[in-house]
Amino acid sequence: MGTLTMITSLAPTTSDDLSHFNTGCPFSATNSPGRRFRRLLILVAALMLSACASNPYQPLIDNMTAVKARAESQKMGEIRVNVAVPSPEETMAIFDLPLYDRGVQPVWIEVTNGGATQLRYAPFGTDPDYVPPFEVAYTNKAGFSKAAHRKMERYLHKHTMPRTIEPGQVQSGFVFTQARPGTKGVNIDLFGPAAEEAYSLLFFVTVPGFAADHAQVNFEALYTPAEMAEFDLPGFRKALTTLPCCSSDRSGGREGDPLNLVLVGNGDDVLQALLRAGWFERLAAEQGTSSTAEAAYLYGRTADAVFRTQRPGTGPRSELRLWKAPMRVDGKSVWLGDAVHYIASPDEPNALDPDIDDARDFFLQDLWYSQGLAGFAWLQGPNVVSIEQPRQDIMGANYFTDGYRVVLWSSGKPVSMLKADYISWDKPPKR
């Protein structure tokens, strides 16, 4: 555009407008030097615009070598499935498109059908909001010529995961899912002609270039063996009543949000249950930013892990902050945390929903419905705050609560909602 501006500045001043422009005799009165210059100017602008819209489309599927090398693999009977997720840089090299910038994350899938019957793959099971290849091409066509756009359509279509895998066949390709930061939960559903020939495999795939906050924590070094208390179930219930009601600021002089939940489970089980429920990890790069998560302290440190779930776009979100506690129950780790909901807007990104209990109950339901809940119990505590006399947290936001804390046993493997145990400790809250 700098060239066009320079040429415009050199154009002679004339009262003629382009509505009188014609293609008559070059010596006619309507084809003066000023008009010929304008014709040249239009031609230059058209050529520049044409050049901008004529970028070649140069994808290269050979850039898949590193992606395939780190693929996660699972086997069920005669079926083997490999899954990998390319990074943004790898995606650009493979597709010649900045798909991540448009909220699209390609997932590579390879299915080996060693059985005797045809299998069908359902991309809906991987992501109900998956993007068809021609839509991917349409939303990325700007800057490409019509021929390049057609090439893009055919390339994306060719490298999309086929729906059908015949006996003895190996099929592979991409599903274009909604992009999300952090570890990628990938579900693969395969169906044969009979009910017993249905396969469902769940992968948790690391995406290069992403570092979660909890990956920076050495959990084994947080407590010495002498500091780690071991409990059976009755002892665990009693120990929970001695835990602090809330987080605090760094000095310990001001209370934060209520610690309204306890998670029981070893690290991998907790992580898999949260990912399956649609919670995503906080970037390590986000640590140190100004937020409630950075202001809240427990056990002398900020949260070991922060997870969020958010509606499309930027705005309302739920947040879960977890600290590993110096205790184990029946050999499993214990995590103390708080769940909050932000009724946010661009102007007030940290506007807290004062009904803290609703965020707690949402988390219980979310874990239950996503089949990540093995059991749960309720504990009534003394930290009751009425809606008429709300309390303020570290950031000055008002909240109220019934004082209950929910205790949840997480499961890395799916558990039917009907099989989640209800442990009868205190009566559930009346809401």
For 145-177, the pLDDT digits (tens) are 999 999 999 999 999 999 999 999 999 999 999
Query: What are 334's two structure tokens?
Result: 């214990």
Max avg pLDDT among 32-41, 46-55, 63-72: 63-72
Could you identify the residue written with the tokens 């029981």? 264
The reported pLDDT for the residue numbered 378 is: 97
Residue appearing with tokens 């184990």: 328
Q: Which two tokens stand for residue 79?
A: 């079926």
d(C-alpha 341, C-alpha 389), whole Å:
20
- The alpha carbon of residue 213 and the mean position of all alpha carbons in its chain are separated, in whole angstroms, by 14
Separation CA 182–CA 318 (nearest Å): 17
Q: What are the pLDDT digits (tens) for 257-295?
A: 999 999 999 998 999 899 888 898 887 767 666 566 778
The pLDDT-based confidence of 34 (bands split at 50, 70, 90) is low
- Count CB neighbours of 45 within 10 A: 15
Two tokens, residue 219: 């959990």
CA atoms of 213 and 188, how far apart (whole Å): 27
SS3 percent helix, strand, coil of the chain, rounded to 5, is: 30, 30, 40
Domain 61-205 has CATH 1.10.3470: no
The stretches of 249-355 forming alpha helices (DSSP H) are 267-276, 292-295
Q: How confident is the model at residue 27 (pLDDT cuts 50, 70, 90)?
A: very low
Query: Which pLDDT value is given to residue 43?
Result: 56
Considering only residues 362 and 19, tell me which one the structure prediction assigns the higher pLDDT: 362
In the chain, where the domains are located: 2-52, 61-205, 213-422
CA 22, distance to chain mean position in Å, is 57
CA dihedral angle for residue 229, residue 231, residue 235, residue 238, rounded to 10 degrees: 50
Helix (H) or strand (E) holding 275: helix 267-276
- Cβ contact 143:55 at 8 Å: yes
Segment 70-80, tens digit of pLDDT: 999 999 989 99
- AA identity, residue 173: G
Does the pLDDT at position 48 exceed 80? no
